[in-house]
Amino acid sequence: MEESQKMTEETQKEKRGKRMEDNKIILYTLAVIESVIWGFSFVGTKAALVKLTPMEVITARWTMAAAVLIILAAFKIIKVNFKGKDMRLVMLAALAQPCFYSIGEVYGISMTTTSESSILIAMGPIAIMLISVIFLKVKIDKVTVFAVIAAFLGVILSIAMNDDFSLGGKYEGYAILVVTVILGAIFTLMSNRISDRFTPMEITLVMAVQGSVFFNLITIIGGRGLEVYRVCFTDKDTMLAVTFLGLGCTVICYIIFNTVVSKLPAHIAEALQKNLITLTGVITGIIINGDSWNMWTIIGLAVMLFGIVLVSRPKDKENTDKEFQTDSVAECEG
C-alpha cells in the first residue's frame, strides 16, 4: 500500500516537473518572438520619425495600443476585470514605464552617443539584481549572477569594440539614462509583484491607457496639439509605422513581457528578455541597417548568447521573487 502511494506521488511529481518544463519552453519561445519584434522596432521608429517628432511617435504608439486594447476589451475578445482591485500599484508601475521611462529614454539617447546609450540601457538586468538583493533581500545564486554579468560583457564587446564606437555624450545624458534604467527595473519588479492580482493583459491595458493620456497631454502642452493624428491619417507610411509600433512593439510585446515576468523571477525574466532584445537588435542592425561589425561583434554576440543560455538553465529549485513579499508592498496596498 505504502509502495503504491509512493509510486503515485513520484508519478505526480514527474508530471508536475514535465508541465513546468513545457511551460518554460513556451515562455522562452514567447521571449524569442518578443525580442525579434522589438529587434525590428528601429525600422518602424525610423519610418515614423520622417514626419513625426520623437515624442509624437511615442504618443501615437501608446494611443494606438490603448485604442486597440479598449476595443478588444469592450467586445470581450480579451478578458479584463478590475472590479474590487486596488489600482494604485498597477498605476504606479505604469507611471514608471512607459510614462517616465520613455521620456528618460528619449532625452537620454538624444544627449549621448548610440554606443553609450546602448550599453547603459543594457544594464537593466544588473539594476534588477542589485535592487532585488539590497532592498528585497532576494537570494540569487552565483551562476545566475555570473550569467547576467557575462551577457552584459557580451554587450560591451559587441558595441565598444566596434569601429563605430564613440564617446562624447553629456554627463546629464548619462545620469538620465541611469535613472531610466532604474525606472525600468522598478517597473519589472512591480509587474512581477502584482502579477498575482492582475493578469498580463490587465497590466498592459493600464500601461497603454495611462501612457496614452500622459503622452497626449505632453504633446498638447508642447504646442503640437493633435497634429500627430493628422499626419498619421494622411500619410500611409507613417500610419503603417505607427501601427507596427502600436500593435507589434507595444500590445503584443508588452503582453508577452508581462507574462514572462509573471512566471519567472524578475531578475531572470529581465536578463532573458533584455539580452535577447539586444542580441536581436545588433543582428538586425547589421543585416537591415548596414551597421558595421567585426570579429569582436561576433565574439560579443557569442558571449551574450552564452549568458542567455546560462541564465535560462533548468534548475531543481528556483528562488522566486514572490517568496519575498515585503511589508512595504503590503503598506502600499493598504
270, 125 Cβ separation under 8 angstroms: yes
In a domain, 117, yes or no: yes
pLDDT of 161: 86
Helix residue ranges per DSSP H, 51-199: 54-74, 88-94, 101-110, 114-121, 124-134, 142-160, 171-193
Task: Say yes or no to pLDDT of 166 above 60.
Answer: yes
What residues make up the domain containing 168? 85-227+264-333
Mean pLDDT of 63-83: 96
pLDDT of 320: 42
The amino acid occupying position 14 is E
DSSP 293: -
In a domain, 89, yes or no: yes
In a domain, 259, yes or no: no
Cβ-Cβ contacts under 8 Å for 111 (sequence gap 6 or more)? 169, 170, 172, 173, 176
Report the mean per-residue pLDDT for the chain.
86
In a domain, 242, yes or no: no
Cβ-Cβ contacts under 8 Å for 236 (sequence gap 6 or more)? none
Model confidence at 315, in pLDDT bands (50, 70, 90)?
low
Mean pLDDT of 52-77: 96
Of 191 and 168, the structure prediction assigns the larger pLDDT to: 191
In a domain, 194, yes or no: yes
Q: Is 152 exposed, middle or buried (0-12, 13-18, 19+ CB in 10 A)?
A: buried
In a domain, 286, yes or no: yes
Residue in this structure with the C-alpha cell 539617447, named with its chain if needed: 109
In a domain, 25, yes or no: no
In a domain, 115, yes or no: yes
241, 47 Cβ separation under 8 angstroms: yes
Dihedral in degrees, nearest 10, Cα atoms 291, 292, 298, 300? -80
Task: For residues 304 and 322, give the distance between their C-alpha atoms in angstroms, rounded to a whole number.
Answer: 27
Closest Cα to residue 114, out of 69, 168, 68, 63? 168
Backbone dihedral angles phi then psi of residue 214, each to the nearest 5 degrees: -60, -50
The number of folded domains in the chain is 1
Task: For residues 227 and 208, give the distance between their C-alpha atoms in angstroms, rounded to a whole number.
Answer: 20
Model confidence at 6, in pLDDT bands (50, 70, 90)?
low
- Work out the number of other CB atoms within 10 angstroms of the CB of residue 173: 19
Q: Report the sign of the C-alpha dihedral through residues 118, 52, 32, 210, in that order.
A: positive
Mean pLDDT of 241-254: 96
pLDDT of 7: 53
DSSP 283: H
Mean pLDDT of 325-334: 38
Task: For residues 294 and 209, give the distance between their C-alpha atoms in angstroms, rounded to a whole number.
Answer: 43
